[in-house]
Structure 1
């Protein structure tokens, strides 16, 4: 996430409690450390001594467009004072306790935290002073979580695929599941038909498509498809990208199996290296997971796959997919192959490169209740023979940190997790836990 993280910082004091004299010193040191960490801090225009001050600061924060707030208990304060910030702002919050015994600051955080827990409101807390780098890093993660949540709640996601006008006792051309997911997680789901993209692609002339294909040659790899097939793939890419731009989309979940297998795979691979998510199996939840992981990272694309086998002797899971992931996830372009899938489709096959640290996630749920598996591991080298034996598709050898391969499968089945997994280079565990906590998504941590 490259843009600045806009976070509010406010100090709370009581006129009848000890510690208020430290207000200026604590706020100045905290704001300086937060700015040094890359947080765009909006410091409260006043110390909050009572409800009137709290409301004025809330107005200031709203006008400034903060996405999260750090609330420092400089002294013991009443629950009703902190309640104002929770109720007025409704943003991810981190409570900052200072290490002065006479203030009972940490006890104040504990007391109010018990109230929030009772109402199911997630919060984070830190204890210490601004020179503590781990403390500031946790505050920054809250700021990052706030930015991610705001973007997820305002994202536009296209569901490409037909749903006939029918219902049992709900909406006529949408599912109840769409409404529930939108209401809880936030994305606006827009409906398009695959025929709309195909019709737009058919309007593009061959010369223009060939020019685009040439521009995409550095991320196409070895081509086993016919020239006509690849020209059509370029047209699908162009039509899909135009639809994304026209509708302001950040992700697409497109129908694929069984009627449109491979139709969107090449476009998905090309677009992934442009930071645009195209899930080729109509999987809205995992398109959102990819978006979250992209926001959490400094770049790079996600891989989508599913467990095809596991090996306890060598301790790895074989994750495969028909193939639609970014070519940049291969060791080199000569290992990326565009394979034909009929006359007008393709799938992108390659062995995923070895990576020392990856985060992999899985999300499922219904009726407004969702859970996300958050796990870390590494990816191992995949030999050419292993790749060929797996069907020359996307092939990943995934080893989980501290959990045997078969136990991963056991726990996924035990928790009712989906068959898809999303893999992203890097460790985003702590940030994802915060995002899930603030969004009310249950966390599944492998043991």
Structure 2
């Protein structure tokens, strides 16, 4: 059956709002390392990893073996029973988190992780007010949509929460873009202090250290440390949404919050995506006082399942033993410089930004500062034709190409992808 036949069946039975890439959507049938193949047998270099989820490699033997062996023993029990692999992974994540006296709760996705963090924060603080960043994205549940500051991913204004949006997530656009880094931070802090002077104290600030769907944008290092000082004075919690930035993807740090770490770790961090290398794992890490604040029972039917925990443990071991954070720093740094050299020859590229293997290429109409989503769509298609899969995002205009390969990417593969992207940029209208 062709992709077009499958696409017709998809449209007949699945929601219209279920996003698909490409004019002729692609069915991926298998992968190995940093490459995947479609149903027709065409090979692609994967620079998006299933939205930053295939973090180490496709068909990583250590992970597939762990999954297969566990599935052969027992697939499911639920959190009503002791689960050795869940306890082991929780112990490792608690230690890696940097949060003192940490507790870990596993979910099945980043959306559910953020939803849990919001439950904990609002219950602990007895407030339904949440601070969130403009241009942010935190998931597709009702509560997560209610704190998402990205119009293109906010299908309703209805919410169980009162959300107040803060400046600072986008460095090169907005009212403070022309300031230097120190002035930018000072202006954002002053805005936050002014906002808090007009409202009852919110429960928490939730922020992505680098905004994912928003186009891999980030504030200057230290902004969230400065915010943290303001929040701590008022007892307001800080939730670091590490769904896309965790596990060493940024190269410089294991967690994105560590670029803003002068005032210590967050009260909570949420994680998902890469830890499972494709298996459905999400979770929340919080200091015990916050995690244990709920006064009723709860479980997670599928969170922390034996199979996903086996995958997570094997994947984390591989990540640490092979220093994939260091590889992200080295290969990602080289790739960013290579792309900046390409951008210097292309008037439609406004900015190359990012850290490690989390890189954004922002496109604008040549000679202007106006976002160019049509060009981004055209480059996405041209790259696919040449055998490279990338993502896109960036506010509701989706004019940013998102590059986030598996962290085991080699120098040769980085050069291969950069060359394809260079040709794709030149071919775009």
TM-score of the two chains, using structure 2 as the length reference: 0.26
